Structure 1
Amino acid sequence: MTISASLLNAFAPTGTLRASINLGNPILAHRTQSGEPGGVSVDLARELASRLGVPVAFSAFDTAAKSVETVTSEAADIGFFAIDPLRGAGIAFTAPYVLIEGCYLVRDASPLTRNEEVDREGNRIVVGKGSAYDLFLTREIKHAQILRAESSQAVVETFLRDDVEVAAGVKQQLEADAARTSGLRLLDGRFMVIQQAMGLPKSRGDEAAHYLRAFVEDAKRSGFVADALARHGVKGASVAPATQT
């Protein structure tokens, strides 16, 4: 496909595709041994840059909120986020490329056994500040209190230190934390499905938004996303269904 000058300028006005990477979601991004960002998100950014014919540069952040702000303010050209209406005010999202489960973690001694029991007076839920779970639960929780840790990685540490009733986050992250600390368990099922998508500033226009949506659909259809999940050893996340562009 021929890349028009207007499309190239929309994606890479500096001549380089600047990608914002959220290290707060360990399923999709991480630091490699060399200190550089790696993971499914990074692979997608490199592939997009290759198709556009431009170099790629990464800015990595420890929280989704910082990553979102970087794209919204146009300090980066693309980012990788959970779809959320609040974020959609300044970001044009693609359809999701990966689906991830959000779950609750409690102590073995907790009386809570079902997700529906969490939203009750007297329960406190700790989440990563600005994460997809924070945004979702802020809208949905009516009776329990929401506490916010500095990052998603700090959720279980805060849950244990402050003797909070419930921790909320990515299922795989909570499972890994529970495996390192005895006396913890996940509630069965999930309280939400996180739709992980790509996005760019809305100010970049419809042509760029359409191209990015088509890119994600091709990455799903061709097996690129599935191969990236397998290559990085990602468990518990699935390729999102195809969507009409």
Structure 2
Amino acid sequence: MTPSPSIRSAFTPTGTLRAAINLGNPILAHQGADGGARGVSVDLAAEFARLLGVDLELVVVDAAGKSVDVVASGAADVGFFAIDPVRGANIAFSAAYVLIEGCYLVKDASPIRANEEVDRAGNRVVVGKGSAYDLYLTRTLQHAQIVRAPTSPAVVDTFLASGADVAAGVKQQLEADARRSSGLRLLDGRFMVIQQAMGTPKSRGERAAAFLAQFVERMKAGGFVADALARHGVEGASVAPAAG
């Protein structure tokens, strides 16, 4: 892959690649010991900047919705998101590079034993505002009420403080929260598989979107994504299959 001057300009209107990094999804990014962002998405952003031959600037946020906003507005040039039709109004997505499980968590004493029991009248389900789970469950839950925490990492704390019935989110985040707060359990199975992709503002043009999609396929096929998952000790996520 060799970017043309027009492709480079499309991704770097400021002369630098600005990549939105969401620390609210621990599978893709986290804060390192030095305070900087680390993770699979950071590695992909750095590799894309290297390919373009430009410097990288990280636009670090703490929630998926904020990441969507900065890319959709053009304040960042690329970002890392769960594919969703609502977000697709202003963002052009690549195919998925990683697949992540979405799960439910309840209190030990809860009568809810299975995923299909969540969507019942009277149940309150806590999600991270603007997250893939928020968007998906807003479309699919017919009876349960959605309660929105400010960020995905705050879901379990909000769940406990509000006395809600269910917490929904990334399986690994919920597992970590269950370990630090006694009396909690995950329901078996998953309620959705999240397709994590790279995205760029649609205003950058179809050729830029196609170049980004080609980059993601190359990163999957060449083992870059698998190596990054292993390097950062990520469990419970898998490399997405090739597009098509």
Which residue of structure 1 lines up, in the alignment, with residue 21 of structure 2? 21
Amino acid of the residue matched to residue 187 of structure 2?
L
- Give CA deviations for 1:127-173 in whole Å, capped at 9, x if unaligned: 00000000000000000000000111111001111111000000000
Q: Structure 1 residue 123 and structure 2 residue 123: aligned?
A: yes
Q: Structure 1 residue 153 and structure 2 residue 148: aligned?
A: no
Q: Structure 2 unaligned segments of length 5 or more: list them.
A: none
Question: What is the rounded CA distance, in whole Å, between the counterparts of 2:201 and 2:150 in structure 1?
Answer: 25
Amino acid of the residue matched to residue 42 of structure 2?
V
Q: Offset of 1:206 from its aligned partner?
A: 1.1
Q: Offset of 1:37 from its aligned partner?
A: 0.9
Structure 2 residue matching 1:3: 3-state secondary structure:
coil
Q: Structure 1 residue 162 and structure 2 residue 168: aligned?
A: no
TM-score of the superposed pair, with normalisation by structure 2: 0.99
Q: Offset of 1:32 from its aligned partner?
A: 1.1
Pairwise CA RMSD of aligned residues?
0.7
Counterpart mapping for 1:34-73 below 5 A: 34-73=34-73
Q: Offset of 1:221 from its aligned partner?
A: 0.4
Question: What is the rounded CA distance, in whole Å, between the counterparts of 1:44 and 1:148 in structure 2?
Answer: 30
Structure 2 residue matching 1:228: 3-state secondary structure:
helix
Q: Offset of 1:2 from its aligned partner?
A: 3.1
Which residue of structure 2 lines up, in the alignment, with residue 8 of structure 1? 8
Which residue of structure 2 lines up, in the alignment, with residue 237 of structure 1? 237
Amino acid of the residue matched to residue 9 of structure 1?
S
Question: What is the rounded CA distance, in whole Å, between the counterparts of 2:119 and 2:2 in structure 1?
Answer: 52
Structure 2 residue matching 1:95: 3-state secondary structure:
strand
Question: What is the rounded CA distance, in whole Å, between the counterparts of 1:86 and 1:230 in structure 2?
Answer: 31
Q: Offset of 1:97 from its aligned partner?
A: 0.3
CA contact (8 A) 2:2 2:51 kept: no
Identity of paired residues, percent? 70
Q: Structure 1 unaligned segments of length 5 or more: list them.
A: none
Question: What is the rounded CA distance, in whole Å, between the counterparts of 2:240 and 2:87 in structure 1?
Answer: 20
Counterpart mapping for 1:100-115 below 5 A: 100-115=100-115
Question: What is the rounded CA distance, in whole Å, between the counterparts of 1:55 and 1:166 in structure 2?
Answer: 43
Question: What is the rounded CA distance, in whole Å, between the counterparts of 1:38 and 1:164 in structure 2?
Answer: 32
Structure 2 residue matching 1:94: 3-state secondary structure:
strand
Which residue of structure 2 lines up, in the alignment, with residue 85 of structure 1? 85
Q: Offset of 1:238 from its aligned partner?
A: 0.3
Question: What is the rounded CA distance, in whole Å, between the counterparts of 2:158 and 2:2 in structure 1?
Answer: 50
Question: What is the rounded CA distance, in whole Å, between the counterparts of 2:158 and 2:6 in structure 1?
Answer: 47
Structure 1 residue matching 2:95: 3-state secondary structure:
coil
Amino acid of the residue matched to residue 16 of structure 2?
T
Q: Offset of 1:3 from its aligned partner?
A: 2.0
Question: What is the rounded CA distance, in whole Å, between the counterparts of 2:228 and 2:27 in structure 1?
Answer: 11
Matched positions, count: 244
- Give CA deviations for 1:10-59 in whole Å, capped at 9, x if unaligned: 01111100000011101100111111111000000000010111111001
TM-score of the superposed pair, with normalisation by structure 1: 0.98
Which residue of structure 1 lines up, in the alignment, with residue 217 of structure 2? 217
Which residue of structure 2 lines up, in the alignment, with residue 94 of structure 1? 94
